[in-house]
Structure 1
Amino acid sequence: MTASDSRRYDVVIVGGGHNALVAAAYLARAGRRVVVIERTDAVGGAAVSERPWPGVDARLSRYSYLVSLLPQKIIDDLGLRVDLRRRRYSSYTPDPADPSRGILIDTQDAEATAASFARTLGDTGEAARFAAFGERLAPLGRAVFPTMTEPLLTADEVRERVGDDELFSAVTERPLGDLLRTSLESDLARGIALTDGLIGTFASSDDPSLVQNRCFLYHVIGGETGHWDVPVGGMGAVTAELERAAREAGAQIVTGVEVISISPDGDVHTMTDRSEVFHGDLVLSGVGRAVLDRLLAAGGAATTGADEPEGAQVKVNMLLSRLPRLRDESVTPEAAFSGTFHVNETMTQLDAAHAAASGGLIPEPLPVEIYCHSLTDPSILGEDLRASGAQTLTMFGLQVPHRLIDDTDPVAAGARLLAAAQASLDSVLAEPLRDCIFVAPDGRLCIEARTTSDLERSLNMVGGDIFHGALSWPWLTSAASTPAERWGVSTPHRRVLLCGSSAQRGGAVSGIGGQNAAMAALEILGGCG
């Protein structure tokens, strides 16, 4: 079976996530004929907003929820109308040993932040050490982030741009735990920093693989500052803008169509009511490497040799009738929940949780972090909910690898993770979380857990891995000889490129994988960006 002329394109993009839409928009704006093929009925992948509870006018960012790595260059190039709001409070972290006190980091009041450190730790110097640690990391963002939308530099070139050999070595050559122990003295402050290396990544602070270091790097370089912002209108507003940009540029977007195989010569076989073949001079893969390998194998081609990925998180979405009271009466719930609220995330607890999960147990207590989108962006709630004082809450549980999900009963496993997450949060509240959960018209509590199993089932993310595999260093380790290699989007097949989170600088809601794939494709096709 061959593609008809109407199914022949310069570029066929498999998968309709946010990176695919970025690639499609760039390519179509350059005059290329491009089609995006998405198996579900809507594009966006994990960057979507949904109403999880019937009859409840709350539109939640159901999977991904904050934005840091989306470059202004992509926003400007594609004319995106997105509003990303900075949060005043960076984080609140109650002391697990005494939840009546906690560290509140106020980005607009250094004195209040210092007083919070001193009150919680009994140490007047840790606030200064924490601030100095952030300042020491700043060259990484300024040096590395601007390179993310350029051809890959070598590690030595990036090291030179950073201008601090010891910092570069500490982040890229030795386990993150070493840097945290030499920079900070308290278990609590070290844990606040370590969480940036563990979001969606299963590792200890001293893991020799350095997967935690790579995750940490991506978390602290976004926008050159490492700040994580709230997308107004929810994550779906970002995706909607990307879809608009792609369609207005002339890209074709096909939904509800399942790709069943990809061949190295550019044939993409699909199956809906009938079989069809889309042919591209190039094929861009917006799906994870593991999924791409299955599609290539089905097309009789050599695979990329990707390892089977494993996610390590549970995301809990909820709507509350009001924010719960805290044991720490010196901090308002509005301040605590508007930033990242760390619960049971000291460095010791995070490492202990990793050890427990490695042994097949759900960590107790489960390290979780929480934030309230609606405090920064009330628009995601209907008028009546806003007037009533209702708020959304997102809770993200760490150190829960996919191996903990029982394949024979994933629902029960999800319920256990949800219970563990609630128990962890309850340990620092002055009242049970359950008493604050909004009740839907049908009598159900407005709370849901999205496990790695849910991600695998609903989004085809193998192992529930939100990064589609381990993150990679954003620079070259060996010489590049092709456009695909220079842009970090190569596969063993000349006409098949990566454009999603599996690309060398993929991961999180950034659009970087899509932009880089488009640039490589235009070079290969003889276009110009």
Structure 2
Amino acid sequence: MTTMQSYDAVIIGGGHNGLVAAAYLGKAGKRVLLLERLDAVGGAAVSAQAFEGVEAWLSRYSYLVSLLPQRIIDDLQLDITLVRRRYSSYTPDPADPSRGLLIDNDDPAATRASFERIGAPDDEFELFDLFYEHCRRLTTALWPTMTAPLLTRSEAKRLVTEAGGASEWEAMIESPIGDVISRHLQNDVVRGVVFTDALIGTFARADDADLQQNICFLYHLIGGGTGDWDVPVGGMGAVSAELARAARSAGATLVTRAEVTAVDPGGSVRYRLRDHNNGDNEHEHEANADWILSNVAPAVLDRLLIAGTEVRYGREQLAAGEPSVGIFESRPFGIGTAAAAQPNHCREGAQVKVNLLLTRLPRLRDSSVAPETAFGGTFHIHESWSELDAAYLTAAEGSIPNPLPCEIYCHSLADPTILSPELREAGAHTLTVFGLHTPARLVTAENNEEMRARLQAAVLDSLNSVLAEPIEDLVMTDATGRPCIETKTTLDIERAVGMPLGNIFHGGLDWPFAEDDAALDTPAERWGVATAHPRVLLCGSGARRGGAVSGLGGHNAAMALLESE
């Protein structure tokens, strides 16, 4: 055992949140050690050359940026460029894919005509616009609070009410979001377009009483107060690279190939360091610190905590039909655990991710919309209100939905720099597809390979149902002749980046405020980063106000630590 020198803070996990925390703490003069088990930092916010011999850098897991506050960009002097997309979305009508709903941010008249084309009621376009106008009354009030100590529920409600959003608070915070969507809008496609923002990564129905769909919806709309989702130029890896630069410039030590094996909440972290020249050589190390910041999921932190804590992790419970909440069963012997402190962080992920590289964009069955326009925003497939609910019910019974609801993003349209000059000149494009309602309960270690193939086929079938030509005919091949298609199940995501059950939020999302009876006595509690251990803080997506590429978990953990000094 090699004992390293002591640090002010050790950060477990080199995802973007850990890098944010390292940069802030380094700037404050703290001695910081960040440990990342993979070969490079960035976690899920990375770009990769996914296909052998093909110079296309894809945002491998996360894909768009909305929740990264300008304050963090300015504080850390990040040199990143985010591109705003003209088109919000395009959705083929499942009843007649030769027509579709196009939301054009720059042309309200064209959007109105698109509403008429799918047979929406005469006033549906105005009601659609009014819906989001009302949403912004709430999101613009709450957005500035995301980088401040938590408000209580009553304080947050008062803030929104004073901004004229009393009814919006009731609709978005107190009641299932499906209630207001179904009351306010009539067309099946339009309702579905709105509701999809409540579902990415979340396995839920519109009227679920636990309101996880509402929290997901709020996080999709709150970014910048407007809910705009932007494309990072250079791919998501460019964001993480800038954060890593900022952390190193601030004096933080970033160590890769360092797998943490145990955490003593009293102030030590044990880890195995793999030799960069020979991965078979591993050396045991221990780092001591005044503070430990966890950028891994709370359930993963549970497994690392020592001093007699036993944690049982079971996909088998999902397979048996038991509820996803509580599948990480913690049995503390004398000490509490991270998940015990925040039991909401035990929910299953519910998406399949597919990356494709095409020789060109496919032609649509809707000949009135150019492919560059349709794929210029979020391309929704089989995400009408009724189809989403039917898909949920099918998945809840243990089957893959047919048709599978999907969302597509074409990053190369907004940012061609992710392709080599040769690929750009040839007209190639990337597609990133998220298949919804594919919960972790469908996938096991035993069937993962089979399910990956079946889910990939379901995604391609959904695509083909709205295209005028088979997508398979347009898929490029790599240097070995294999199709340029990369599919990640929830289990693949869990194994690759340590997200239990493939949950891209590290577990269930939380409201961005504290309940009125919550303990807010310590800086860690006030900033939403507390665990059961005073010197162990959550700094990742598992923190309150975590989730997505935001840096909020890292920022808020750093603020809590500095306030505690």
TM bucket (normalised to shorter chain) is: over 0.9
- 1:83–1:298 distance in 2 versus 1, CA, 3 Å: farther
Q: CA deviation at 1:123?
A: 2.7
Alignment of 1:213 onto 2:214: yes
Give the equivalent residue in structure 2 for 1:130: 128
**Structure 2 contact 120–186 (Cα < 8 Å) conserved:** no
Give the equivalent residue in structure 1 for 2:552: 512
Q: CA deviation at 1:7?
A: 2.3
Q: Distance between the aligned counterparts of 1:232 and 1:450, measured in 2?
A: 23
Matched position secondary structure for 1:7: coil
**Structure 1 contact 262–299 (Cα < 8 Å) conserved:** no
**Structure 1 contact 261–298 (Cα < 8 Å) conserved:** no
Matched position secondary structure for 1:430: coil
Q: Distance between the aligned counterparts of 2:126 and 2:406, measured in 1?
A: 26
**Structure 2 contact 505–547 (Cα < 8 Å) conserved:** yes
Give the number of aligned pairs: 523
Q: Distance between the aligned counterparts of 2:262 and 2:178, measured in 1?
A: 43
Give the equivalent residue in structure 2 for 1:436: 474
**Structure 1 contact 25–245 (Cα < 8 Å) conserved:** yes
Mapping of 1:251-400 within 5 angstroms? Answer: 251-272=252-273, 273-297=282-306, 300=309, 301-304=335-338, 305=340, 306=343, 308-400=346-438
Give the equivalent residue in structure 2 for 1:146: 144
One-letter code of the match for 2:524? A
Question: Which of 439, 459, 466 does residue 497 from structure 2 map onto?
Answer: 459
Mapping of 1:183-202 within 5 angstroms? Answer: 183-202=184-203
Q: CA deviation at 1:472?
A: 0.1
Give the equivalent residue in structure 2 for 1:224: 225
Give the equivalent residue in structure 1 for 2:251: 250
Q: Distance between the aligned counterparts of 2:400 and 2:304, measured in 1?
A: 34
Matched position secondary structure for 1:384: helix
**Structure 1 contact 297–303 (Cα < 8 Å) conserved:** no
Give the equivalent residue in structure 1 for 2:155: 157
Matched position secondary structure for 2:486: strand
Matched position secondary structure for 1:180: helix
Q: CA deviation at 1:139?
A: 1.2
Unmatched 5+ residue regions in structure 2?
A: 274-281, 310-334
Find runs of 4+ consecutive structure 1 residues off by over 6 angstroms. Answer: none
Give the equivalent residue in structure 2 for 1:179: 180
Give the equivalent residue in structure 2 for 1:422: 460
Q: Distance between the aligned counterparts of 2:392 and 2:230, measured in 1?
A: 28
Q: Distance between the aligned counterparts of 2:248 and 2:265, measured in 1?
A: 27
Unmatched 5+ residue regions in structure 1?
A: none
**Structure 2 contact 121–186 (Cα < 8 Å) conserved:** no
- 1:208–1:297 distance in 2 versus 1, CA, 3 Å: farther
Q: TM (normalized to structure 1)? A: 0.97
Q: Distance between the aligned counterparts of 1:261 and 1:120, measured in 2?
A: 57
Q: CA deviation at 1:297?
A: 4.2
One-letter code of the match for 1:286? N
- 1:385–1:501 distance in 2 versus 1, CA, 3 Å: same
**Structure 1 contact 261–299 (Cα < 8 Å) conserved:** no
Q: Distance between the aligned counterparts of 1:124 and 1:235, measured in 2?
A: 40
Alignment of 1:39 onto 2:37: yes
**Structure 2 contact 121–187 (Cα < 8 Å) conserved:** no
Matched position secondary structure for 1:489: coil
One-letter code of the match for 2:261? I
One-letter code of the match for 1:488? G
Q: Distance between the aligned counterparts of 1:298 and 1:333, measured in 2?
A: 58
RMSD: 1.2
